[in-house]
Structure 1
Amino acid sequence: MTFDMSEESEWVGPPVDIEMIRRAQEVLQVRLPKSYVDLLFVQNGGILNNRCFPTAFPTSWASDHVSIDAIWGVGGAYGVDVVSPSMITEWGYPEIGVVFGITPSGGHDTVMFDYSSCGSNGDPCISYIDEDRVPRRIANSFSEFLHGLVSCRDYGDDAD
């Protein structure tokens, strides 16, 4: 299971239906990745079991990984359709797609669905955005991203 179901979380949105997905895509003007949408039907966002993703480059968080506390779903107070546009504006993230991950830094860095290579109807890669606001690809798809998450204990972190 991707989500930590043992913890109550403000990041879990209301149960998802097709209309919520359609509205979110309309607001964001992109087609959300199928693997992300499929996950939302299991649980609409929340705290992750494995919260670290290895990187081949240093991040503001660590020399070899990024930490993601939770992912946003759609709808509700913390849906990507509500939060992502304001996060892009507030934090000056590049306009390449959709912010979907919550990092421990509280906005100084993030992860995004990156549509810059595939267009708004394509299958986006996942990019890490650090304080320099340069997108760095960390996974070729959301599915690859999910399968690449590891326990932060692997890095000596106590985050999960």
Structure 2
Amino acid sequence: MKEGFWQKGNSIYKLNALTVEDIKKAEDIYKITFPRAYINILKIQNGGEINYQAFPVLDNTLPGEAFIEVTNIYGIGKNPGVLDTDYLISEWDMPKGLILFNGDGHYWLAFDYRNVTVNPPIVYVNNENEKAEIIEIAKDFNEFLENLTIIEYQDKEEIEDIENQMTEYSRESFEYHLENDREDEIIEAIVSLSQTDVDITWFGQALLALTNHSNERIRSQIANSVWNFLSYRLDEDTLNGLIETFRIDPDSDVRMYAQLIQQKINYSIDDLKTDISHCLENGGYNIVSFLHDDNVYHIYRNFKLTLEGQDFTEEFSTSEELIAYVLPDGRTIEEVWSNVKLI
């Protein structure tokens, strides 16, 4: 994801922190699977105003327009959020199967699930005419994100404002914010550092010390980041110490993350088989991602195995064939499963 994607500060588009239950509820309502790239940005912030506000118009899809302005992206929730879609589609007479993530009535950006349940194209909806005009602008949400860019402002002060919002955090800046108890900056730094090549031993101990902070937002963000980004990177003692602290936290959300992290750690080969069956029955897509020998593998519901960062795909007829696949170290997925780390 681009550095400093979300704008700082409060916004009507910024919803409460995303939970697994939020994702499942929304996907069950629409009977779809949200794009991984969309979920990944919402794990950092559940909707809000963004810094990369221009999507270039290519191939004359919108004559006379150089770019589409994208000031915000909806999170999973309501008022405003993607769960407002049914009402908005009815109000503006748009076709069912779209899930709106940006717009103002006359113009919308949407996931186009009319013909798919996973990996939808991104469309621009023009409601100026009697019948909505729907134009595909990106093959998927990942391509949409990659093409977003910062609008070139002529005003120097406006440029400086955006640059200031795109803070890069370091160990030194994090420790400075800790010393001065700058709570909002601490939360932002936790999110940022959790996704960078940080000194994980130092960072894990810093988070462990922070779990007693009086601000429940800080404690909740620590738990969320450990679950989303850090559980497979932290050493066993630090991770167990964090889990035990989360278990006795007064906040129910933090206690919930303790259970979710433990489920990740204890995820068995039988759990994998069950989830494959469940996804086949209910239309899920990506089942699990795991780390083995410094390689990240992704398993999909159609018995497909891919290797991140490489042109590698293996497809199988059954889950039994998949887990019997021999990895480069000469052992099958089933044989190494007790030692892999879920991501």
Mark yes or no: TM-score above 0.5: yes
CA distance 1:110–1:136, change in 2 (3 Å): same
- Structure-to-structure mapping, 1:1-160, within 5 angstroms: 1-5=4-8, 7-56=9-58, 57=60, 59=62, 63-81=65-83, 83-102=84-103, 106-117=104-115, 119-120=116-117, 122-131=118-127, 132=129, 133-153=132-152
How many percent identity over aligned positions?
Answer: 26
**1:2 touches 1:49 (CA, 8 Å); kept in 2?**
yes
**1:3 touches 1:46 (CA, 8 Å); kept in 2?**
yes
**1:59 touches 1:130 (CA, 8 Å); kept in 2?**
no
Unaligned runs of 5+ in 1: none
Separation in structure 2 between the aligned mates of residue 129 and residue 145 of structure 1, nearest angstrom: 15
2:90 aligned partner, one-letter code: T
Q: Which runs of 4+ in 1 moved over 6 A?
A: none
SS in 2 for 1:15: coil
**1:84 touches 1:99 (CA, 8 Å); kept in 2?**
yes
1:93 aligned partner, one-letter code: M
Partner of 2:219: none
CA distance 1:74–1:52, change in 2 (3 Å): same
**2:61 touches 2:135 (CA, 8 Å); kept in 1?**
no
CA distance 1:155–1:98, change in 2 (3 Å): farther
Separation in structure 2 between the aligned mates of residue 134 and residue 76 of structure 1, nearest angstrom: 25
1:151 aligned partner, one-letter code: I
Structure 1 residue 87: deviation in Å? 1.2
The TM-score with structure 2 as length reference comes to 0.41
Separation in structure 2 between the aligned mates of residue 115 and residue 76 of structure 1, nearest angstrom: 19
Unaligned runs of 5+ in 2: 163-343
SS in 2 for 1:129: strand
Q: Structure with the greater relative contact order (CA < 8 A, sep ≥ 6): 1 or 2?
A: 1
* RMSD (Å), alpha carbons: 2.3
* Residues 84-106 of structure 1 deviation map (CA, whole Å, 9 limit, x = unaligned): 1111111122223200113xxx2
Separation in structure 2 between the aligned mates of residue 109 and residue 76 of structure 1, nearest angstrom: 19
Aligned length: 150
Separation in structure 2 between the aligned mates of residue 51 and residue 92 of structure 1, nearest angstrom: 27
**Largest Rg, 1 or 2:** 2
Separation in structure 2 between the aligned mates of residue 23 and residue 73 of structure 1, nearest angstrom: 13
